[in-house]
A and B are shown apart, each in its own frame.
Chain A
Amino acid sequence: MESSVPCAATVSDGIAAAGLPAMRPRRRLRGLTLLALVLALLPLGFVNDYVADVAVLIALNAIVCVGLNLLIGYAGQISLGHAGFFGLGAYGSALLATHAGVPPLAALLAATALVGVLAALVGGPILRLKGHYLAMATLGLGIIVSIVITTEDRLTGGPDGMAVPPLTIAGFVVQGERAWYWILAGCLLAAVWLAQNLIASPTGRALRALHTSEVAAELAGVDSARHKLIVFVISALFAAFAGGLAAFHAGFVTPAKASFLHSIELVTMVVFGGMASTFGAVVGAAVLTLLPQLLTALKDYEMVVFGALLMATMIFFPRGIVPTLSALWQRWRR
């Protein structure tokens, strides 16, 4: 039953030890460089601004999903309220830029930071909850945010939403889908880079540890409460930043962005693409943002086909698209 234990491999120690660390960084960046390549080549396929617009929406959702994947996939903390942070980032940026006259870029960064602070304050007590209770608490948080946005219509324009001034960076007004695409592609690359770095660091390992056994992680010295809060705030910052960008890109924002249906949509993208897989989050966001655009021809049958596709994928790819495909790729390559 017990594996045959070879005597300590003295000879190859030196080589293996020396070889191992050097090889790892090059492999880690390979994924990032390929994503950069894809993002660079994509505009060749932009037949018109509409396709570019869809690509921008995919990048926006992908940024949120990469952050959310850290929380759900790696740290195992379910959140059904991240559209609330997305909405706060959007409305925060819009309100600061319009009513407070703050320059758009500063408004975006300030709103994101404020949402981070809010996430830190709220995260403490909420993250003591586990599993479905945590899901409900975050769902409730998101709903409270969307109700406040809808009800304070003097400030936010209520359910009909509000207009958002254009984004200016260093004096240049960001206009045109292509300009927006390059900005979002850059932000997505940065998001993936930050996420990958975090995962491959002691903090990343601590998060993965507390996902499977919180007590064993604690006994390894991991302050699980603090680490859960860290990843909760980081994912909230990703969502708020993407929310702000989305508001400036669309030039308009409605409370639907903060609704619990949007939260569920984001979690579905993460699980669909593959939990504990940064590229899974990107693929999940891409497929589930693109699908509604492709299924419009089905008119009344769109929801039926979308629901069926979602169920079929989760049944046959239970760990999500990318982990399942990469496992097949491993088995096929060997």
Chain B
Amino acid sequence: MTTLVVRELGCSFGGVHAVAGLSFEIAPGTVHSIIGPNGAGKTTLLNLLTGVYVPTSGSIRFGAHELTGQPPHRYAAAGIARTFQNLQIFFNMSALENVMTGRHRLERTGLLAAMLHTPRLARAEAECRERALEWLRFLELGDAAERDADTLPYGALKRLEIARALAGEPQLLLLDEPAAGLNPSEALGIAALIRRVAATGTTVVLVEHNMRLVMEVSDHILVLDHGKRLAEGSAEQIRSDARVIEAYLGAASEAHAAGEASADA
């Protein structure tokens, strides 16, 4: 299993330092969460860790792969996958084809084999279809396989995106606010799902606002504020860390916050 090592990572748009001098590591096989108030740089960090943004300073290494400044498909090739805050589903395909596309990094058949539809390709396609169908069932979307993606409801699309990410059998899965837009019962469904994914040995990194979900599934939490590391530690440590509460709820209502946090747990 491979460790994600981030050293002095920085990313600024014009004068704004969205992320500055950030260093941390994500050990394999655990559930990590990245939390912080709005504008703390969570999404920017997520985009940096998947090559969507190119860092202005610092480095990103994943196991033996030096990924700093590489295009996103090199991150995917290294075994990193993600979902998106606003769904990026391939709506011109069926659900099954979406998940099959998720396995693109594992494909070994060449262009010529594709154009001549060689037996080797036919076998690879059948196998890819088969594995994709398994991941669809893993996300309880088995019967939606042949339906066009644009006919599926929002909740199913959320799970489809996760299925697509998992289909590539990544070592590291980054989830961008998976609970956003879901009702409480669906959020609980996501929590169970994250545990099932972690159980398969895949490292999960969660970027999320839903504190209940974060506290419930996270082995390790990194708190960001204005692009810098505010705090890091287990769920327990972070819940009672004064700086975190202050950053979230502002200094004035300190007492009230203490009460609030306990009720929340």
Contact = CB atoms under 8 A, between A and B. Distances in A.
A213 B90 CA distance: 7
Interface string A211-229: 1110111111111110000
Interface string B68-93: 00011101110011101000111111
B122 A25 contact: yes
Interface of B: 50-52, 71-73, 75-77, 80-82, 84, 88-93, 97, 100-107, 109, 111, 113-117, 121-122, 124-126, 128-130, 133, 137, 140-145, 152-156, 164-165, 168, 182-183, 186
A3 B155 contact: yes
Contacts, number: 147
Nearest to B52: A215
Contacts of A44: none
A163 to B, nearest CB: 35
Contacts of B50: 219
Contacts of A205: 93, 97, 100-101, 104
B137 to A, nearest CB: 5
A225 B77 CA distance: 15
A122 interface: no
Contacts of B117: 197, 200-201
A37 interface: no
A209 B164 CA distance: 12
> What class of interface size applies to chain A in its complex with B?
35 or more
Interface stretch (A13-21, A87-95, A104-112, A144-152): A13-21
A206 B155 contact: no
The winner among A21, A198, A213 for most chain B CB atoms within 10 A is: A21
A219 B82 contact: yes
A208 B73 contact: no
The winner among B76, B115, B153 for most chain A CB atoms within 10 A is: B115
A194 B104 contact: no
B164 A220 contact: yes
Given A3-B156, A208-B90, A221 B100 contact: no
A219 B153 contact: no
A297 interface: no
Given A208-B93, A213-B89, 11 more contacts: A2-B183, A2-B186, A3-B152, A3-B155, A6-B143, A21-B129, A25-B122, A205-B104, A208-B92, A218-B76, A220-B81
Nearest to A29: B117
A17 B93 CA distance: 19
B155 A216 contact: no
B101 A220 contact: yes
Contacts of A218: 51, 71-73, 76
A206 B97 CA distance: 10
Contact of B153 (A2, A7, A203, A209): A2
A287 to B, nearest CB: 24
Given A3-B156, A21-B126, A202-B114, A220 B76 contact: yes
Given A1-B155, A211-B92, A220 B102 contact: yes
Nearest to A204: B114
A8 interface: yes
B93 A1 contact: no
A212 B98 CA distance: 11
Contact of A215 (B72, B102, B137, B164): B72
Contacts of B90: 208-209, 212-213, 216-217
B241 to A, nearest CB: 33
A230 interface: yes
Contact of B137 (A8, A25, A200, A212): A8
Contacts of B186: 2
A276 B97 CA distance: 15
A206 B72 contact: no
Contacts of B126: 21
Given A200-B117, A201-B121, A8 B92 contact: no
A16 B116 CA distance: 27
B111 A206 contact: no
A5 interface: yes
21 contacts: A3-B152, A8-B142, A9-B142, A9-B143, A197-B117, A202-B104, A202-B114, A202-B125, A209-B101, A213-B90, A215-B88, A216-B164, A217-B101, A218-B73, A219-B81, A220-B76, A220-B81, A220-B164, A221-B104, A221-B105, A276-B92
A13 B115 CA distance: 31
Contacts of A202: 100-101, 104, 107, 109, 114, 124-125, 128
A223 B92 contact: no
A250 B109 CA distance: 40
B105 A220 contact: yes
Nearest to A205: B101
